Chains A and B, each alone.
Chain A
């Protein structure tokens, strides 16, 4: 029970800043609870046995000649099996709610029909907005991400903006198509609980919906050379008006300014 309490009440994670972060944290709490219960249980058993059954001075006899106990063994085969099955099904559900099982498509089909949607997409996370209660009626914001040693470049096809910093409006789904110029990198925002490798020659997709304004680190999580540790950027989640201001200031295509 102590384990359950720890699992539910100790928070080890950074702030939740995307639609799937609360979903992730739900899974985390469940796993953490199960893990803590198991760990404390086994730790307790081992310590108890070591104290209770230790050899006292002068004792020379053997322990009991217990070679096994089939029902007991079946029991502790079955219990982990059930636990594991539960964890598996539950994490499938979580994964689905995060958009992992949604067919991958970049951007919104109506606004976006260029070559990017035709080329083969290799994997990533689909759009979770419908499943997490966020409005899916808003067209998602397409962004093209290029990673190189040792920087990320964000290209907004809508305003033809190229930026080293990722700006996204809060509440609007974002759809990123990522590709690398040289070696494998990875796009990671801990506050979004999302990570996706950026691979040369094989574009990947990452969709998410930011929910909390703020500045969060974008971290490269795949060893990519000497400056891998320095390969960072920032994602600025701002409210739609501020985002629009930023967009207007930088957009090259005048007609898109509103």
Chain B
């Protein structure tokens, strides 16, 4: 490592604001950008949650009474779009990716810091535009899937704003993906092999490949859709000779991979969190890597399982049934490996671990219902019902959101130098876990018994179960309070954490907390075994750490 340029780089950072103001600036520091993503995403989570609360309030009674029917559709469209494009995707990719990846590859920043900042700063305006469309013109009404011809015939202004903001968010995500690929493949500290990287790097590499391959297709599709709306073309408008099914294929070609874009990074984060708190190596490192890559490949060829009732030919349905079912195999490997990581560990039962284990349990349930949905004959009954709603909330909430919370508890000391309060964390976990299951478990039954999704009014026989579900949602809303209080209060008087409160071995823990601008004072450590925990590894570990301390600058 050459030091010569360091002072020069420092200078450029000096021009940037310091203190909390830098979080509002066009900062090029990957850590600042990561936290910008996180905070911005969380604000949108609260907005999306408020929208979800509105949905659940409307559904406490079988008639449409809380808001007009059009507004209900707008609310549910906004809820889906905000939660996916402004909360999960930016946070599991952008926030943790930006913060952690440079550490993990031993770099001082991302490959393209400026592109990185641009990618982040596309998000707030896009999000504000999306939300404000509700107040100015009325938001889009056709669901987050925006199926034509409905999206062509509903009021155009809201739909166009929706398209524009999704295009911006997609652009942001593509820029981010390019950046991650370049950082992981090209910025690795010399001497660090791919198979020595922490698992999160692999998850982000896989995710970014999916982003780069599939997001542009969504962009193209939405451009065509906007032509249909503004320019009166007929790509997807049957009245003008168009074909609505083609839209669905193109849309799901992106949006199925998008679900892995939402969950693969979460898998990666769990793989970082569990070994540290179990004091054990990650079980089956190389199979974990291969299964990520298998998920990436399979994830690209299963999209039509969202279209089993759309009039696709039988052979196509069968192909997609088989391909989709097989995703359970690599995913299963990951789950069994995590359980094996727990097995025989010395587990600290703190909030981070609780949320990670909550994730395992919830996701398995969501995954199992997913495999059931993948079976054409099964899906023909429950497609577009609350069974599907339950399936994906088990995965996106029980999966990704649980992992985000877990990751916040885990890395908070890294971000701030202080620990979060454990008792509040446990209360948060308990409320969230109970509320979540109470909210979404009954929805399986609703779907099986005849309640379609995206309705503001429903058969009165479902009223009680819906109220149960709404009560769960209320509990989830309440559960955010201890978390918010905890996160804000700990910032000022949380227990001082020290540099490495968990005794982690991954590179981000081998520097001060919070880290300096260039990540490390001195050379980046070369961590060849990020998971070298365990009793008979102890001595080896110490050697490793020592040799890191004494790394000479020109190594």
Contact = CB atoms under 8 A, between A and B. Distances in A.
A140 B336 CA distance: 51
Contact of A229 (B68, B328, B457): B457
A63 B328 CA distance: 29
Interface string B330-351: 0011011101101111111100
B196 interface: no
A219 B537 CA distance: 62
Contacts of A193: 380-381
Q: What is the interface of chain A mostly: helix, strand, loop, or mixed?
A: mixed
A61 B346 contact: yes
Given A183-B153, A200-B244, A38 B368 contact: yes
B449 A186 contact: no
Interface stretch (A71-79, A107-115, A247-255): A71-79
A80 B337 CA distance: 14
Given A61-B346, A100-B317, A87 B384 contact: no
Contacts of B537: 62, 65
A217 interface: yes
A241 interface: no
A124 B314 CA distance: 9
B458 interface: yes
Interface string A9-26: 000111000000001100
Given A24-B377, A193-B380, A195-B380, A55 B283 contact: no
B329 A88 contact: no
A82 B457 CA distance: 42
B239 interface: yes
Interface residues of B, number: 100
Contact of B147 (A67, A91, A184): A184
Interface string B266-295: 000000000000111111111100000000
Contacts of B454: 223, 228-229
B309 A27 contact: no
Contacts of A53: 278, 342-347
Interface string A202-234: 101000000000000101111111111110000
A196 interface: yes
B216 interface: no
A256 interface: no
Contacts of B312: 123
Contacts of B328: 80, 84
A138 interface: no
A162 interface: no
Given A100-B377, A186-B384, A62 B284 contact: no
Contacts of B372: 31, 35
A91 B244 contact: no
A68 interface: yes
Interface in B480-528: none
A222 B535 contact: no
Interface stretch (A42-50, A129-137, A151-159, A168-176): A42-50
Which of A34, A59, A224 is most buried by chain B, counting CB atoms within 10 A of its CB? Answer: A224
User: Chain B interface secondary structure, helix, strand, loop or mixed?
Assistant: helix
B52 interface: no
B224 interface: no
Contacts of B452: 188, 219-221, 229
Given A39-B365, A224-B150, A91 B448 contact: no
Contacts of A202: 238, 243-245, 311
B86 to A, nearest CB: 21
Contacts of B353: 50
A73 B337 contact: yes
Contacts of B533: 62-63, 65
A147 interface: no
Residue among B142, B149, B538 having the largest count of chain A Cβ atoms under 10 Å: B149
Interface in B382-417: 383-385
B137 to A, nearest CB: 16
Contacts of B73: 223, 225-226, 228
A49 B142 CA distance: 45
Contacts of A1: none
Contact of B311 (A88, A92, A122): A122
Nearest to A203: B311
A88 to B, nearest CB: 5
Contacts of B380: 98, 125, 193-196
B339 A183 contact: no
Given A49-B347, A122-B311, A184-B147, A228 B455 contact: yes
Contacts of B448: 12-14, 190
B383 A221 contact: yes
Contact of B283 (A23, A68, A84, A194): A68
A201 B236 CA distance: 11
B333 to A, nearest CB: 6
B143 interface: yes
Contacts of B29: none
Given A183-B149, A183-B153, A229 B339 contact: no
B13 interface: no
A199 interface: yes
B368 A66 contact: no
Contact of A50 (B322, B342, B449, B535): B342
Nearest to B373: A31
B450 A190 contact: yes
B371 interface: yes
Interface string B407-437: 0000000000000000000000000000000
Kindly list the 9 A-B residue pairs having the minimum CB-CB distance in the complex, ordered from nearest.
A65-B534, A201-B238, A229-B455, A123-B311, A190-B450, A63-B345, A226-B69, A122-B311, A91-B375
Given A12-B448, A55-B348, A229-B457, 4 more contacts: A50-B342, A63-B344, A100-B377, A186-B309
23 contacts: A24-B378, A24-B381, A27-B377, A31-B375, A39-B368, A42-B361, A64-B344, A64-B345, A65-B537, A69-B283, A76-B333, A77-B333, A84-B329, A91-B377, A92-B321, A122-B311, A182-B153, A188-B384, A194-B380, A199-B310, A220-B452, A228-B454, A229-B455
